[in-house]
Amino acid sequence: MGTLVVYFSFDGNTKFIAEKIAETINADIIELKSSKKYPTEGFSKYFWGGKSVIFGEKPKLINDSIDFNRYETVFIGTPVWAGSYTPPIKSFIRQYKLQGKRIALFACHGGNGAEKCFAKLKAALPGNKFIGEMAFLEPKKNSEESSNKAVKWADGLRTI
């Protein structure tokens, strides 16, 4: 059984970490693509992201269907928005209803909220075994440190 890294990235931070993890453990990788476009600049970027989380939006994913029968372990990565995971991750969870998987969670943030994000993800993914979680503070700004942290974490989860 294989390993999959599935993630949504807004500013490229989560993508950066997802690629490091997938490379380290030789996993398949899928970036979730949403039909909804979010503002990328200024205050509206944070306003619309937070509003989307608070109102529980579940945008349509435009990815091809994923065959989870091929995977025993799934790494799920998200930016932290308003102390939670992003609406595309919410859509992913609703669409696939993962059960009986080994799940590792990672989140990228600009200052805080990862613990609440992880708690919400775990509550949304019952029936799975959680093998690890890791938060990354502004990975692209702290690229070397974040890269080393991601590699060490992912490598350490191989034996769990």
Tokens standing for residue 158: 């191989």
Rounded to whole angstroms, the Cα distance separating 147 from 21 reads 9
Tokens standing for residue 32: 């979730």
Give pLDDT tens digits for 93-139: 999 999 999 999 999 998 888 999 999 999 999 999 999 999 999 99
Rounded to whole angstroms, the Cα distance separating 67 from 160 reads 23
For the four alpha carbons of 118, 116, 107 and 142, in that order, the dihedral sign comes to negative
Q: What is the mean pLDDT of residues 82-94?
A: 94
Name which of 3-17, 29-43, 86-100, 129-143 the model is least confident about. Answer: 29-43
The pTM score is 0.92
Backbone angles phi, psi at 77, to 5 degrees: -120, 140
CATH class of 2-157: alpha beta
Rounded to whole angstroms, the Cα distance separating 63 from 95 reads 12
